[in-house]
């Protein structure tokens, strides 16, 4: 049986079915499809299109479908092209007469757009929750790191030493922007397309406002053609996930580098590392590598889907069915990435001695020396030149002699002198990074507080969004007013 057998007969080529079915992947929209159908039916009742007895009967049938799907006893049929078809077919089996009224004033075009918005609202918000969980793990490690310091790098060359907590929170702030971006995407997508029909609305007295309200949508579509053709929210979700994936890949790359024997700044717990099938001694950072690698796939999901959207004429086109695979793929992969990375971070050991040894590179104190000169009234350009030439002279003596020669030159310099030598100790140098947002202990303590507050605020924002997913029942004839 097909939904259009009145027009085309019911003979369908197998090849058509195999290409066009989406049930194999869109069945995960079932909870959203059922919720949207219940709201739709109550809207039909408010419009006087069906009676309250009919409403009750259809809703009972929808409840039964929900139970069957939950128990795994729901029998999908040969012709169930997608989840919408399957649910409607089963409702009509349970309540043959009234079930045939479920699809009144509705098309799968506004139905699937509604389901997918409900789904994305919930799933994207829950991914944001996992990002906050990972951020918490970073914060805990940052707190544990205390005064530990390491070289900070630019161009992957030692630059100035920084607190480990500062370094970890640098990744944390990028993640906080990801959470913020996701929340904005969710707020923007919270518009109901239900009532747009196939593309043009309906001659029936539907109540799209009331339906929107019942589904927790902030507002209702303004233009029925836009409502069924718009997948901006999928593209935005994919972008948010791709950029989040890019952020995670940068962090992951550092974990890979930090866990090499050469650098040795981090030891990954055995449970979060992998071995080699051939090399008995190996301990590999596969989680970090997969996180790094999956960034490519997330970017692919985004760019592939943008290519699908490009040039699509109004309004609904079947191309849009291609929205689900990339969205599900990105969400599923991101979820796994975030959970694994959080475990890795929570259980990792930072090798503070290695970090400190690496930071004990007198060259890293150059900027501190220049700033000392500045505070003694030397113009910065001049200070830069003075210290630069000391570094140059010391470097000319070779790597092993550098520390000694540099210290002698600093101590002998009329504008610097023996007191400046204390700045060559990176443990002292790092305490001097006091400007707002800087890498030293006073500024980082403040930063940690602000980060903590930010996580709390974002958790509250997500709780507000999660409340939209609680089914509340009918909103009343006038919608949310």
The residues that touch ligand ARG, with contacts defined as CB under 6 A, are 22, 26, 82, 108-109, 112, 316, 318, 320-321
Whose tokens are 């045939």? That residue is 100
Closer residue to ligand ARG, CB minimum distance, 197 or 426 = 197
Could you tell me the smallest distance in angstroms from the CB atom of residue 214 to ligand ARG?
Answer: 22
DSSP string, 198-232: TTT--SS---HHHHHHHTT-SEE-S-HHHHHH--H
Could you tell me the smallest distance in angstroms from the CB atom of residue 298 to ligand ARG?
Answer: 22
Residue 276: active-site member: yes
Instruction: Identify the CA nearest to 33 among candidates 117, 125, 123.
Output: 117
Crossing angle of helices 164-189 and 232-258, rounded to 10°: 170
Burial bucket for residue 303 (CB in 10 Å: 0-12, 13-18, 19+): middle
Could you tell me the smallest distance in angstroms from the CB atom of residue 321 to ligand ARG?
Answer: 4
Q: Are 215 and 111 in contact (CB under 8 A)?
A: no
Residue 155: active-site member: yes
* Tokens linked to 287: 């989680």
Could you tell me the smallest distance in angstroms from the CB atom of residue 91 to ligand ARG?
Answer: 17
Could you tell me the smallest distance in angstroms from the CB atom of residue 106 to ligand ARG?
Answer: 11
Could you tell me the smallest distance in angstroms from the CB atom of residue 82 to ligand ARG?
Answer: 4
Closer residue to ligand ARG, CB minimum distance, 265 or 316 = 316
Residue count (the chain): 481
CA distance 476 to 307: 41
Could you tell me the smallest distance in angstroms from the CB atom of residue 196 to ligand ARG?
Answer: 12
Q: Are 194 and 110 in contact (CB under 8 A)?
A: yes
Helix (H) or strand (E) holding 257: helix 232-258
Closer residue to ligand ARG, CB minimum distance, 151 or 201 = 201
Say if residue 315 is preceded by a cis peptide, omega within 30 of 0. yes
> Out of 276, 389, 435, 478, which one is annotated catalytic?
276
Whose tokens are 């913020």? That residue is 180
How many other C-beta atoms are found inside a 10 Å radius of the C-beta of residue 434? Answer: 11
Could you tell me the smallest distance in angstroms from the CB atom of residue 207 to ligand ARG?
Answer: 22
Closer residue to ligand ARG, CB minimum distance, 109 or 135 = 109
Give pairs for 97-101: CB < 8 Å, separation 24+. 98/50, 98/54, 98/57, 98/58, 98/61, 99/58, 99/61, 101/44, 101/49, 101/50, 101/54, 101/58
Q: Which residues in 74-181 belong to E strands, given as ranges?
A: 149-154, 157-163
Could you tell me the smallest distance in angstroms from the CB atom of residue 66 to ligand ARG?
Answer: 20
Closer residue to ligand ARG, CB minimum distance, 82 or 368 = 82
> Out of 155, 203, 277, 400, which one is annotated catalytic?
155
Closer residue to ligand ARG, CB minimum distance, 66 or 82 = 82
Helix (H) or strand (E) holding 380: helix 380-395
Which pairing describes strands 266-267 and 349-350: parallel, antiparallel, or unpaired? Answer: antiparallel
CA distances from 311 to 61, 187, 301, 306, 318 (A): 40, 26, 18, 10, 13
Whose tokens are 């101590």? That residue is 411
DSSP code of residue 312: P
Closer residue to ligand ARG, CB minimum distance, 2 or 274 = 2
Q: Are 99 and 83 in contact (CB under 8 A)?
A: no
The residues annotated with a catalytic role in the active site are: 155, 276
């Amino acid at each position: 049986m097909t939904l259009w057998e009145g027009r085309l007969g019911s003979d369908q080529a197998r090849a058509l079915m195999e290409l066009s079915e989406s049930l194999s992947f869109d069945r995960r929209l079932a909870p959203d499809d059922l919720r949207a159908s219940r709201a739709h039916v109550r809207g039909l009742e408010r419009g006087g299109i069906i009676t309250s007895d009919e409403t009750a009967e259809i809703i009972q049938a929808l409840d039964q479908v929900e139970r069957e799907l939950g128990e795994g006893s729901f029998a999908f049929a040969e012709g169930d092209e997608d989840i919408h078809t399957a649910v409607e077919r089963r409702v009509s089996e349970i309540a043959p007469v009234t079930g045939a009224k479920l699809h009144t004033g509705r098309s799968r075009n506004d139905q699937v757009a509604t389901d997918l918005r409900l789904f994305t609202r919930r799933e994207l918000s829950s991914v944001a929750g996992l990002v906050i969980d990972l951020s918490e793990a970073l914060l805990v490690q940052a707190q544990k790191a205390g005064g530990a310091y390491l070289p900070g790098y630019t161009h992957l060359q030692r630059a100035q030493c920084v607190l480990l907590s500062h370094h970890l929170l640098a990744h944390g702030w990028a993640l906080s922007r990801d959470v913020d971006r996701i929340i904005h995407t969710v707020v923007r997508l919270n518009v109901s397309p239900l009532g747009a029909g196939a593309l043009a609305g309906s001659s029936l007295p539907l109540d799209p406002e009331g339906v929107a309200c019942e589904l927790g949508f902030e507002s209702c579509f303004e233009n029925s053609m836009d409502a069924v053709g718009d997948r901006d929210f999928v593209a935005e979700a994919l972008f948010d996930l791709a950029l989040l994936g890019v952020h995670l890949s940068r962090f992951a790359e550092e974990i890979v580098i930090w866990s090499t024997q050469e650098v040795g700044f981090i030891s990954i717990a055995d449970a979060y590392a992998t071995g080699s099938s051939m090399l008995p001694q190996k301990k590999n950072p596969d989680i970090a590598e997969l996180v790094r690698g999956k960034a490519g796939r997330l970017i692919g999901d985004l760019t592939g889907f943008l290519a699908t959207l490009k040039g699509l004429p109004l309004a609904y086109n079947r191309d849009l069915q291609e929205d689900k695979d990339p969205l599900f793929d990105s969400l599923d992969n991101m979820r796994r990435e975030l959970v694994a990375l959080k475990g890795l971070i929570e259980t990792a050991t930072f090798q503070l001695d290695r970090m400190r040894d690496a930071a004990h590179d007198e060259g890293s104190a150059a900027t501190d020396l220049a700033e000392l000169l500045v505070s003694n009234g030397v113009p910065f350009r001049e200070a830069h030149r003075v210290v630069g030439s000391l570094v140059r002279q010391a470097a000319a003596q070779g790597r092993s002699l550098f520390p000694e020669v540099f210290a002698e030159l600093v101590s002998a310099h009329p504008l610097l002198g023996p007191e400046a030598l204390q700045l060559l100790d990176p443990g002292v140098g790092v305490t001097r990074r006091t400007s707002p947002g800087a890498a030293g202990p006073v500024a980082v303590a403040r930063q940690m507080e602000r980060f903590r507050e930010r996580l709390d605020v974002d958790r509250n924002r997500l709780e507000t969004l999660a409340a939209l997913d609680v089914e509340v029942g009918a909103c009343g004839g006038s919608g949310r007013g």
